[in-house]
Chain A
Amino acid sequence: MSNQIRNSDPATKPQLRSMQRQLAEANDPQLMRVVAMVDAMQDRGEADQLIAPLRARLSVLRPRRPMSLARLLFTPLNPIIVSGPEWRRGMLAIPRTALQPLADLVRDGAARQCADAERRVTGLSTNHTEEINAIGREIWPQAAKLLRSSSPPETWTEATGLQAADFSIIVNQAAAGLMYGDDILNLIAQAQRGKDPANFEYEHLLDSAMEAGADGLAIVMALLASRLPRAETMLIAAEDIVARQGEPALRQAADRAVDAMLDGMDTKSVSGSPLGSAVGELRRMVGLLEDIDARSGQRPTRRAKVEKIRQQIDSASRQKFTKSLDIDLLKPAEQLATASDQEVTNLEAAARGLRNFEQAARRLGGADQYDRQLRSAAEALRPQADETPQTFADRIRLIEILQGSEAAAALLGS
């Protein structure tokens, strides 16, 4: 595959698209292997394009990727990095094509520190979160200052495909994210450990971020919302700050951040990913929608937008569930009587994934549909006559996972 995808001959473009389609259908381990293969290439060329459409899924899967100086520098910005063609002015986002030129600027301004950081990240992967953050927090604020004071490099337009005027916009956003990167990551890590940060902790960070102007507030809000399990406390903190300051620019910035959160909710991360990796992202999006909705009482336009996105994700979720129930569970379960231990374990994992998925998805609607489908699936999995005790137990367990222990226990006596 590596030789095929390195070739940038336009004649291979259809081939590339075909491979992208295949990769979209690949399961998680297959996708991880392809990413590892691309990362191992000396000259990645168009190989990057192969995985570009799958970035939303990769952000959920978080495959282990080798660290480099550029990856270290922009770690805090990861959730808002978009592809070059996708980037538009006004977005709270950093185009991927700008990363290397920005990294070069930082390297020019802080050669010794960058060399030291580069040496320390050698051999680490993106999974070494604690080590990366420890190294990164020493260089992110300095990188932010360097970027703010820098001018666009001569090769900017050629290297990025962007206009010269885009430079200051991108640099300001990147600098704000880097300046407060450590604080952002700490609050997110705290929330992910189950300890939701207090209102004052968010206020303290957002107050500081305003030193970088309205854009600073917006970018920090967007970065927080991209990873927080729940965002309501952060949204309340932002509202309080905006109300206290009374500046229209700050209100607009906060609105931009919320709009960016809504615009960032891509149904592809539900429909385009295997169920197992879609659950986490679905939960996050549902929580974020609920939180934004809860803070939009007097904002009919925003509520309408929330409702529209809710419907889109609801629809995508129902389709995903129906498809996955059939493909991942019911079809393979037809061979349950002869299934190996591993195949049964996979079926149970699929059933658990479906249950987790519908529990998140039903918060958007469709409870009746999910209940009906789960009942129907349980009926299809019902124990059959003359099966071995092991297959009987396997069926009871699948029904238990899908419908609960009462439904399964009822079959034990029947």
Chain B
Amino acid sequence: MSQPDPRLPPPVLEHLPTTYLDRGIAVPFTTPQLAGARVRPAERVALELIVPNPSGGRGVYIIPWEDLTSLCRPTVFDLRLSAMVNAVNGVTPATIRKAARAIAAQGYAGRTAAAAARTADESDRQAGMIANFTLLLELVRAVEKPGENPVPPEKERPAELERRARRAVARVAPDLGRTPESIATALEEIGTLFSGIGLRAGQSGARLQALLARLILLRQELARFIETNPPDGMPEADLVAGSLDLTINCTRATLADAHILSADIVGMLKRWITAPEEMAHIIARADWLLDGWERVVNLWETADHPGETVVTLAEMCNLVPVIPRELGNWVSQHINIDVDITRHRRRVILLEDWRTGRSISDMVARNENLLA
């Protein structure tokens, strides 16, 4: 096979991923030409970069991760993020998020983004602690005999609760064939896994439940926009709304699957001991499903004025994540997605006004604000 001419851009390819890993993980680059870029593991090179066709038309560029600079002049933030992603052990939404926050916290996307990254890290840490604490309460409730303690664990004094929790861990450990220390560690690990989604529905402090709520609001606002029968932006709004419908429904279903696990604390611990990867995968599904949507909703929420709506919708349209067929395996017991999945596997409507007239530095600044 002849070598590609390095002077030419890479060929534009159709991108119809089968799995979420094949789709790649959204990387929050700030260089405008890299909007919607994703990273995925590859066979012949360590990582691949997937970039939507910058014309707004169908297809993507797929190139080795190291060739990032062949497409554009990335910002310093993107160069550093790219280097960090290259060193990541296993690309997932969580590892990419961690890398992006680490670089943002250094100040290379501006001080506002740095503060936001630190706040987000702290929120996740607190959410993990709350999840861990809640799991301990559940364990106490599950393990103590009826009437053993008249004070419900959530109303217990901290010192006494700690004693009851240690006792509960010690009681359950032999049944699970583990030491109390390993059970305590397992609870911490499970708490960390649940920090993003919360242990049950309606926990608005959990990051992904908060994102889901914003997506639902976006869907409602798009419906209102479509109802006005606008002269421009209707097909774009329709496409984003349709994809949102499927994403919202499927995310709810995957969250429900994860929350069912947490309803039986002892059963969950057993499962964690015997099949930790399978359980982690179930809990992480919502993160994979919503990967890439935060930027879309941020664009909508930060649009400066109503006149920008149409341009923003076109940009959002280009960033709507492709839905892989793997979704069917995840949620087919809840939702028949066969019709919708085909509809949303196309990329976008031809983006006629992809040149918004905004300067590159303004676009970078706007993209940095999306990190904040």
A interface residues with partner B (beta carbon < 8 Å): 129-130, 189, 192-195, 229, 341, 344-345, 348, 352, 355-356, 359, 389-390, 393-394, 396-397, 400-401, 404-406, 408-409, 412
Bound state CA distance, A372 and B334, in angstroms? 64
A359: chain B residues within 8 A (beta carbon): 359
The answer to whether A352 touches B365, judged by C-beta atoms less than 8 angstroms apart, is yes
B76: chain A residues within 8 A (beta carbon): 396-397, 400, 405, 408-409, 412
Please judge, given known A-B contacts A352-B365, A400-B75, whether A194 and B355 are in contact too, CB under 8 Å: yes
> What per-residue 1/0 map shows which CB atoms of B352-365 lie under 8 Å from chain A?
11011101011001
In chain B, what residue has the closest Cβ to A396?
B76
A390: chain B residues within 8 A (beta carbon): 107, 111, 114
- Tell me if B41 counts as interface (CB < 8 A to partner A): no
Bound state CA distance, A194 and B352, in angstroms? 9
* Chain A nearest Cβ from B307, distance in angstroms: 7
- Tell me if B112 counts as interface (CB < 8 A to partner A): yes
The answer to whether A344 touches B361, judged by C-beta atoms less than 8 angstroms apart, is no
- Tell me if B210 counts as interface (CB < 8 A to partner A): no
B78: chain A residues within 8 A (beta carbon): 405
10 A-B residue pairs with Cβ-Cβ distance under 8 Å, sorted by A, are: A193-B232, A194-B311, A195-B352, A341-B111, A348-B110, A389-B107, A397-B107, A397-B110, A400-B76, A409-B79
Bound state CA distance, A228 and B353, in angstroms? 16
In chain A, what residue has the closest Cβ to B79?
A409
**Contacts A194-B356, A405-B76, A406-B73 known; 18 new A-B pairs at CB < 8 A:** A189-B307, A193-B353, A229-B357, A341-B112, A352-B361, A352-B365, A355-B361, A356-B361, A356-B362, A359-B359, A390-B114, A393-B106, A393-B108, A396-B76, A400-B75, A405-B73, A405-B78, A408-B76
The answer to whether B365 touches A348, judged by C-beta atoms less than 8 angstroms apart, is yes
In chain A, what residue has the closest Cβ to B352?
A195
In chain B, what residue has the closest Cβ to A190?
B232
The answer to whether B362 touches A345, judged by C-beta atoms less than 8 angstroms apart, is no
Bound state CA distance, A63 and B311, in angstroms? 23
Bound state CA distance, A345 and B111, in angstroms? 7
In chain B, what residue has the closest Cβ to A128?
B306
* Chain B nearest Cβ from A224, distance in angstroms: 17
Number of interface residues of B (CB under 8 A): 29
The answer to whether A352 touches B357, judged by C-beta atoms less than 8 angstroms apart, is no
State which residues 89-123 of B face A: CB under 8 Å. 106-108, 110-112, 114-115
Residue of B75, B76, B306, B356 with most chain A CB atoms under a 10 A cut-off: B76
- Tell me if B310 counts as interface (CB < 8 A to partner A): yes
Select which of B75, B306, B311 is within 8 A of A130 by beta carbon. B306
B108: chain A residues within 8 A (beta carbon): 393, 396-397
The answer to whether B115 touches A394, judged by C-beta atoms less than 8 angstroms apart, is no
Select which of A345, A348, A397, A404 is within 8 A of B73 by beta carbon. A404
In chain A, what residue has the closest Cβ to B108?
A393
In chain A, what residue has the closest Cβ to B354?
A194
* Chain B nearest Cβ from A295, distance in angstroms: 22
* Chain B nearest Cβ from A92, distance in angstroms: 27
B232: chain A residues within 8 A (beta carbon): 193, 195
The answer to whether A405 touches B75, judged by C-beta atoms less than 8 angstroms apart, is yes
- Tell me if B54 counts as interface (CB < 8 A to partner A): no
* Chain A nearest Cβ from B11, distance in angstroms: 26
The 9 nearest A-B residue pairs measured at CB: A393-B107, A194-B353, A341-B111, A352-B361, A356-B359, A408-B76, A405-B75, A355-B361, A400-B76
The answer to whether B79 touches A355, judged by C-beta atoms less than 8 angstroms apart, is no
* Chain A nearest Cβ from B151, distance in angstroms: 46
The answer to whether B361 touches A405, judged by C-beta atoms less than 8 angstroms apart, is no
* Chain A nearest Cβ from B69, distance in angstroms: 9
In chain B, what residue has the closest Cβ to A189?
B307
Bound state CA distance, A292 and B108, in angstroms? 42
- Tell me if B74 counts as interface (CB < 8 A to partner A): yes
* Chain B nearest Cβ from A343, distance in angstroms: 10
A195: chain B residues within 8 A (beta carbon): 232, 352-353
Bound state CA distance, A269 and B74, in angstroms? 34
* Chain A nearest Cβ from B253, distance in angstroms: 38
Bound state CA distance, A352 and B110, in angstroms? 13
The answer to whether A405 touches B74, judged by C-beta atoms less than 8 angstroms apart, is yes
Bound state CA distance, A406 and B72, in angstroms? 11
* Chain B nearest Cβ from A369, distance in angstroms: 20
A412: chain B residues within 8 A (beta carbon): 76, 80
The answer to whether A344 touches B111, judged by C-beta atoms less than 8 angstroms apart, is yes
Bound state CA distance, A390 and B111, in angstroms? 9
* Chain B nearest Cβ from A286, distance in angstroms: 13
In chain A, what residue has the closest Cβ to B73?
A405
Bound state CA distance, A404 and B75, in angstroms? 8
In chain B, what residue has the closest Cβ to A393?
B107
Bound state CA distance, A355 and B362, in angstroms? 10
B75: chain A residues within 8 A (beta carbon): 400, 405
In chain B, what residue has the closest Cβ to A340?
B111
* Chain A nearest Cβ from B121, distance in angstroms: 17
Bound state CA distance, A356 and B76, in angstroms? 19
Bound state CA distance, A408 and B107, in angstroms? 14
Please judge, given known A-B contacts A130-B306, A341-B115, A352-B365, whether A193 and B106 are in contact too, CB under 8 Å: no
B114: chain A residues within 8 A (beta carbon): 390
* Chain B nearest Cβ from A282, distance in angstroms: 12
In chain A, what residue has the closest Cβ to B359?
A356
Bound state CA distance, A148 and B359, in angstroms? 44
* Chain B nearest Cβ from A354, distance in angstroms: 10
B112: chain A residues within 8 A (beta carbon): 341, 345
Bound state CA distance, A129 and B305, in angstroms? 11
Bound state CA distance, A229 and B79, in angstroms? 34
* Chain B nearest Cβ from A61, distance in angstroms: 14
Residue of A189, A397, A400 with most chain B CB atoms under a 10 A cut-off: A397
* Chain B nearest Cβ from A351, distance in angstroms: 8
The answer to whether A401 touches B361, judged by C-beta atoms less than 8 angstroms apart, is yes
> What per-residue 1/0 map shows which CB atoms of B278-315 lie under 8 Å from chain A?
00000000000000000000000000001100110000
A401: chain B residues within 8 A (beta carbon): 361
A194: chain B residues within 8 A (beta carbon): 311, 353, 355-357
A408: chain B residues within 8 A (beta carbon): 76
In chain A, what residue has the closest Cβ to B231?
A190
The answer to whether A405 touches B365, judged by C-beta atoms less than 8 angstroms apart, is no
Bound state CA distance, A189 and B73, in angstroms? 33
Please judge, given known A-B contacts A390-B107, A397-B76, whether A193 and B361 are in contact too, CB under 8 Å: no
A405: chain B residues within 8 A (beta carbon): 73-76, 78-79
